[in-house]
């Protein structure tokens, strides 16, 4: 682009440089590098977030299954069945001892 200036009533033509200053180019390069780095970091953090969400779903499901198992295994019917399997039975004859009777007596 040409610029015309009038100095001392003389017309002179000067070429105007369209070339940007060096600091503008450096600043633009730094901006582009930071933008690319930020984009890459964001996408990698996104995949990490998806992995953590999947782990969270698995743990919540496992927690629900364990809670169901706890409820089932601590129910009275389950405890009674385990007691029978171990040999515990309901007593047929219950003997109550009074104050006068001794529990263990030498004969």
For residues 69-74, average pLDDT: 90
Q: Where are the domains of the chain?
A: 21-69
* Element (DSSP H or E) covering residue 27: helix 22-73
pLDDT at 2 over 70: no
Query: With bands split at pLDDT 50, 70 and 90, how would you rate the model's confidence at 1?
Result: low
Least confident of 37-41, 90-94, 102-106: 102-106
Least confident of 26-40, 75-89, 93-107: 93-107
Mind giving me the DSSP string for 35-78?
Answer: HHHHHHHHHHHHHHHHHHHHHHHHHHHHHHHHHHHHHHHTSHHH
Q: pLDDT (tens digit, 9 = 90+) per residue, 10-51?
A: 555 666 667 778 899 999 999 999 999 999 999 999 999 999
pTM, entire model: 0.49
């Amino acid at each position: 682009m040409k610029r015309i200036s009038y100095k001392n009533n003389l017309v002179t033509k000067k070429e105007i440089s369209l070339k940007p200053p060096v600091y503008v180019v450096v600043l633009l390069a730094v901006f582009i590098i930071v933008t690319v780095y930020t984009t890459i970091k964001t996408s990698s953090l996104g995949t990490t977030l998806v992995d953590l969400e999947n782990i969270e779903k698995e743990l919540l499901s496992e927690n629900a299954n364990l809670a169901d198992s706890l409820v089932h295994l601590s129910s009275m019917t389950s405890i009674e069945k385990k007691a029978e399997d171990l040999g515990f039975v309901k007593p047929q004859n219950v003997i109550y001892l009074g104050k006068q009777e001794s529990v263990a007596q030498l004969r």
